[in-house]
Amino acid sequence: MLKNMCNEQFSVDVFGGKPKKQAKIKFQDKIFNSESYTPPNRIDFKDIKLEVVFKDCSKKFVNLPALKFSNMKSEFGADSKTILCLNKFVNEPSIIQRNSSRITIRNNDQGKRIKDILYHFLDQTFVDFHEFYFRKSSILDNFNILSPHEGRFRVICVYTIKPSSHKKERTKHYLEVVLLDPYHLFIPSKLLGKDKITGKDRLFSSEEAMDQTYEQVKDYNREFSLENIN
């Protein structure tokens, strides 16, 4: 069994207003996996009791021109649909369990880009050790899922386990939120849009979609706040 470590956890109030039931999100530091459980590519979250927590790095927002990635917002504020998806997630973090899927980091240009983005949020050793445990979830709200500005909001997590330290303690399973991907730039997908030359609708490749989307958000320079969403 590999060494495991769990640091102190703490909760943060999400809203300062007066909702019916004030939502809370929990932050916690690293938890290292053990080898005594089902491999991550075969885990079924329906079969385990899973808790969603937020790593401190989830509060980090960056603009990385070399990687054509940004999860920042405009100085004029985020668009209403992005805010709606963010509110939906923060009010009910457990929703990311419903469509969580494993991220395959291949030994190619895309895999290198994924790791290079993760290195801006997590220690390189941690990323490399947990390479097979990163997962993605989409936050959808009845929008066009092919457009990152129409509801395609992703949450990137790492699946971790705290092994029991004694017989009476149960093994704990976590989805730890690593970063928010409001514009679907972490792992871009094909995108339906209008061709600038022909004016006709066509399906853009994932690389073309990344170029188009990043061009729209490249000047964004404001951070989101998980505690005060606006």
pLDDT single digits (tens) 19-30: 445 456 666 655
Q: Check whether 7 has a pLDDT greater than 50.
A: no
Q: Check whether 138 has a pLDDT greater than 50.
A: yes
Looking at the 3D structure of the chain, how many domains does it have? 1
pLDDT bucket at 9, cuts 50 / 70 / 90:
very low
pLDDT bucket at 144, cuts 50 / 70 / 90:
low
Token pair 């990323």 is found at 127
Q: Is 90 helix (H, G, I), strand (E, B) or coil?
A: helix
Instruction: Determine the pLDDT at residue 38.
Output: 59
Instruction: Determine the pLDDT at residue 39.
Output: 62
Instruction: Determine the pLDDT at residue 136.
Output: 95
Instruction: Kindly state whether residue 168 falls inside one of the protein's structural domains.
Output: yes
Instruction: Kindly state whether residue 162 falls inside one of the protein's structural domains.
Output: yes
Instruction: Kindly state whether residue 117 falls inside one of the protein's structural domains.
Output: yes
C-alpha to C-alpha distances, 223 to 100, 153, 182, nearest whole angstrom: 25, 16, 12
Highest mean pLDDT of the ranges 6-15, 142-151, 176-185:
176-185
Q: Using CB atoms within 10 A of its CB, is residue 62 exposed (0-12), middle (13-18) or buried (19+)?
A: middle
Question: What does the pLDDT average to over 62-72?
Answer: 98
Highest mean pLDDT of the ranges 77-86, 191-200, 202-211:
202-211
Instruction: Kindly state whether residue 224 falls inside one of the protein's structural domains.
Output: no
How is the chain split among helix, strand and coil, in percent rounded to 5? 25, 25, 50
Q: Which residue has the higher pLDDT, 173 or 166?
A: 173
The boundaries of the domain holding residue 41 are 9-217
Instruction: Kindly state whether residue 120 falls inside one of the protein's structural domains.
Output: yes
Average pLDDT, rounded, for the chain: 82
Instruction: Kindly state whether residue 1 falls inside one of the protein's structural domains.
Output: no
Instruction: Determine the pLDDT at residue 142.
Output: 59
Q: Which residue has the higher pLDDT, 151 or 195?
A: 195
Instruction: Kindly state whether residue 226 falls inside one of the protein's structural domains.
Output: no
Q: Check whether 12 has a pLDDT greater than 80.
A: no
Q: CA-CA distance, 7 to 22, in Å (whole number)?
A: 25
Kindly report, residue by residue over 20-61, the tens digit of the pLDDT. 454 566 666 554 454 445 566 667 777 788 999 999 999 999
Instruction: Kindly state whether residue 225 falls inside one of the protein's structural domains.
Output: no
Question: What does the pLDDT average to over 85-91?
Answer: 92
Q: pLDDT exceeding 70 applies to what percent of the chain?
A: 76
- Global pTM exceeds 0.75: yes
Contacts of 105 (CB under 8 A, 6+ apart): 111, 114, 115, 131, 132, 134
